[in-house]
Amino acid sequence: MRVLFTVSAWRGHWYPLVPLGWALQASGHEVRVACAPSQSTEIGRAGLVPVPVLGEVDMMFLARLQNVWNAQEGTWPYPAPPPHPVTGEPMRSLAEFTFADFTRESGARLAEPARRGFDAAVGLARRWRPDLVVHELLSLEGVLAARVTGVPSVLHLWGPVGTDEDEPGLRLRPDDPTGAFRRHGAGEFRPDFVRHVIDPCPAGLRPRTDAARLPMRYVPYNGPGAVPRLAPPRPGRPRVCVIWGNSATRVAGPQAFRLPEVLAALTELDADVVLTAPAADVAALGQLPPSVTVLAQCPLHLLLPGCDAVVHHGGAGAVMTATAAGVPQMVMACAMDQFLNARRVAAAGAGLALPAHRADAVAVRAAVGELLGDPGHRERAARLRDEMRALPSPAQLVRDLAALAAR
């Protein structure tokens, strides 16, 4: 069969789909990935076939805009306003981003490229005639392409956030702000157009959705890279991985930047630290203690199995890769869906939630000290890992997808 993937212009959103793409190709099926041009090279490096026809929706602007909405609703957790959605500079007041700014910038950065993307996805589907469409949560082009061509569509979730979350400030429900469904004769978009979701989460992290679930084991893909060369663990010294996402500071602003506090706390705990973070954030730290090793662009699934604990910003990729490795997590959520990810990890008993706005050195030291000192956290993290491993593999799910396409 032919399977069309549609993905948004944010690597962390389509990375979870890569192993399913491999499984489909290895089973003899054809896969094409409709994407924005900015994602084409990375998708090709992942071993999939990109079709760079979608619009370049400004995902950084969208993420920062979400922060402004949260601040207007009173759910922004920091004392100062969020960064300006366009420039990323700190704002003294929400009034610095006016309604006129919103209208102008949203049209140019979101609505127009989204409209072009919907049209391009429909055109591609009509030409290529897929038997099935797979999309992720912020790439509804796939739903429209499937409805116009009369084939099933399946939403592939990133992690613990589902299609029907009701948390204040979490606007991730599928939506059609451009009216593309009406324009292409598919009627008014309804959330129940999303009828099937691929859920990669174990039961302990299960997201909320009203759609039919297709469970699938999460297989980490964090980009290409080599096995890291690290010194052997030193007796009596725990190894803690610290992950600061590529966009964490740019999305949430400098008031969310807590790496100095984290490293100070881990130094007090006599831990060996492996830090992976953007170069600009590492440079802002200045001189690092000898116990800190910096790795640039290291695939997390190659790094985490040798660690005793992990501290990260709460992105779905970090949460799911740490879960797959069975490593206890301290989730230091900064913004957006990261807070929900953190609470679900904590509720599963596989780690602790310490949001960035509360993460001073004392709190970090106490939280990581608990993760390292209480074996119950590692035992529960291992159970969650085993739950994940018991889910059907991507190769097994291919049969179910083929049956769905044949209906």
**CATH code for the domain in which residue 42 is found:** 3.40.50.2000
Q: What is the pLDDT of residue 174?
A: 58
245 and 203 in a single domain? The answer is no
202 and 318 in a single domain? The answer is no
54 and 176 in a single domain? The answer is yes
- Banded pLDDT at 407 (limits 50, 70, 90): confident
136 and 275 in a single domain? The answer is no
67 and 201 in a single domain? The answer is yes
pLDDT digits (tens, 9 = 90+) for 327-378: 999 999 998 899 999 999 999 999 999 999 999 999 999 999 999 999 999 9
355 and 400 in a single domain? The answer is no
pLDDT digits (tens, 9 = 90+) for 254-276: 999 999 999 999 999 999 999 99
pLDDT greater than 80 at residue 33: yes
Q: Which residue has the tokens 């913004």?
A: 335
Q: How many structural domains does the chain have?
A: 2
* Residue 301 covered by a domain: yes
402 and 325 in a single domain? The answer is no
Q: What is the pLDDT of residue 361?
A: 95
120 and 149 in a single domain? The answer is yes
Q: What is the pLDDT of residue 395?
A: 98
* Residue 211 covered by a domain: yes
Reading the block at residue 324, the tokens are 């797959």
* Residue 228 covered by a domain: no
188 and 303 in a single domain? The answer is no
At residue 330, what are phi and psi to the nearest 5 degrees? -105, 110
pLDDT digits (tens, 9 = 90+) for 76-85: 999 999 999 9
193 and 246 in a single domain? The answer is no
Q: What is the pLDDT of residue 273?
A: 96
* Domain assignment of residue 177, given as a range: 2-218+391-406
pLDDT digits (tens, 9 = 90+) for 270-311: 999 999 999 999 999 999 999 999 998 789 999 999 999 999
Strand ranges of the sheet holding 292-294, from the earlier edge strand across to the other edge: 292-294, 272-276, 239-243, 309-312, 329-331, 351-353
Q: Max CA-CA distance within the chain? A: 66
196 and 72 in a single domain? The answer is yes
| Helical segments of 48-157, H only | 59-73, 99-106, 112-128, 141-149
Nearest to 142 by CA among 160, 167, 125: 125
Q: Are strands 153-156 and 239-243 parallel, antiparallel or unpaired?
A: unpaired
Reading the block at residue 275, the tokens are 């830090």
150 and 274 in a single domain? The answer is no
